[in-house]
Every structure is written in C-alpha cells, then in structure tokens.
Amino acid sequence: MTDTMIAIIGGSGIYEIDGLEDAKWQSVDSPFGTPSDQILTGTLDGVKMAFLPRHGRGHVHSPTSVPYRANIDALKRLGVTDIVSVSAVGSFREEMAPGDFVIVDQFIDRTFAREKSFFGPGLVAHVSVAHPTCPRLSDACETAARDQGINVHRDGTYLAMEGPQFSTLAESKMYRESWGADVIGMTNMPEAKLAREAEICYASVAMVTDYDSWHPDHGEVDVTQIIATLMGNADKARGMVARLPALLGADRAPCSYGCDRALEHAILTAPEKRDPAMVEKLSAVAGRVLG
C-alpha cells in the first residue's frame, strides 16, 4: 500500500479545490522546465491532494505553450498517484449537451507542435496507450459526478487539436462523421501520454461548453457562450472533486489495470548505453525502473 495523492489538473474555468485543508502553493523544480504555475497542495477528507492550473492562474498559457512535461514531472515529484484532468470541450453529439460531462476513454491526437515524450536519444522507451485512461479512476469520477447530480456520459473519444483556433466547419463534420469523435479539445494530449510514461493513473473529465461548429442550429463557436457555460461547469466540477477522496481512500493498492507499472518492459536502451544525463533527468518519471 502507498498513500493516495490525487492531482486535479484544472483547465479553463477551474482554478481551485474547495475545502482543502493545510492548503499552500508551492513551487516545484523540474528538469523539463517550469510548470504552468505553482501547485496547490493540502488534504481533503484525509486524502492528499494537489491542484495545478493547466493554463496558469490568469490563463497565461495557450494550449500549445502549456509545459506538459514539466507539469507531469512536477506532480510525480510530489508523489501524485492519480491525475484527474478537468477540461472544457466542444461536443459532436446531440445528446452530449452543453453543461454535460463526458468521461473520456479514448483520444485521437491531432496536435503537432508539442513535446510528447519524456524519453529520447540516449534513453528510448515505448509505452502502450491503447487504453490511455484508467478505468478504476474513471469509475470514481463517474460516480462522483452522478452523486453531484451532473448529467454524465461514459466512454467518449476526445479529438485533441492543436488550436488555438476552433475547428472549421469542414473539420468539425469530418471529426464527427468520418472519425467518430465525441468531443473536441486542445489540452489532453500529450498530457495523457506523459502521465502513462510517468506511471500515474489518468482520467479525463470533459465538460461540454458548446457544439463546436457542426450543429446546424448553433453555428460557429461563440466564446461568450462558452465562458457562461464554463462558470456553471466549474461549480459542478468542484462538487465532483470534493467527492473523490471518499471514493478513492487514503491507502492505495497497485492499480489493477497496470497504469502504475507502464514502464515495466518499455525501456529498450541497454543499461550500458543509457545516457547518464537522461537517466538523471528521468529520476522522478522513471526512477522506479532505472534504479
């Protein structure tokens, strides 16, 4: 058993955890750069918690400039075992209406201007992201959301686009009709991939704010409308987060889906060929298997 530590990575509209005890903002150094912001830590119902504003307080990072590697590395250094991503999305499905939440289980990664791995020359690894989210953690998020009275949908596919612009109408129709995506956002990739490399369980809670641009009755995305829906979603999200400690508990057994052992057979570089500088850089992310 280890201590559970839940991290909430808050997207647009989510900037705090209600009821956090012994709360303090702290800076965490990472060899992958400076995280988006300081990290808020404390306890909630006896469970360790951390909160990281993905875009920084005041929304200073675009989806492309978010320092994803530094963020995940910093959370790993704090002892985080479980990450819940909370982010705003557009919907490709009539039934996934603005104000609803979607528990994501799959991604289509269309980003192209971001560093997507902790590994590289001198220390090569390949992890499986066939199932990029943790079902155990997703179950807890679904239960917490339903207990909060949120209309929640399970098992959606998230199309991650580079942004910062919203989709063209042609793209929106393609993603919805040909590719089978359910929601669209700009921030869960490479975040989910990096969490897997860092052996941290990851769940994605997508908060629907709009219908993207495909919907004939809604037209193009309106930022004013999105912000209004965001505020309501943020209140719901904080209520959901408040229920997670009781569901996950303070003591944590190994993940039954193996998220916390993703690097077990992933590193291919022979020990004698590993770059010492890379080994040091990955001391938090991969220290368990590098020794």
Q: Catalytic amino acids?
A: 210, 212
- Does residue 98 have a cis peptide bond before it, meaning omega lies within 30 degrees of 0? no
- The Cα–Cα gap between 188 and 207 comes to 12
- The Cα–Cα gap between 10 and 81 comes to 17
- The Cα–Cα gap between 291 and 289 comes to 6
Q: What angle do CA 254, 105, 63 make, to 5 degrees?
A: 105
Dihedral pair phi/psi, residue 23, rounded to 5°: -70, 135
CB 113 within 8 A of CB 162: yes
CA dihedral 93, 99, 103, 106 (to 10 degrees): 40
In sequence order, the β-bridge partners of residue 20 are none
- The Cα–Cα gap between 115 and 153 comes to 30
CB 188 within 8 A of CB 85: yes
Please give the single-letter amino acid code of residue 74: A
CB 106 within 8 A of CB 186: no
- The Cα–Cα gap between 151 and 141 comes to 12
Dihedral pair phi/psi, residue 181, rounded to 5°: -75, 155
CB 253 within 8 A of CB 136: no
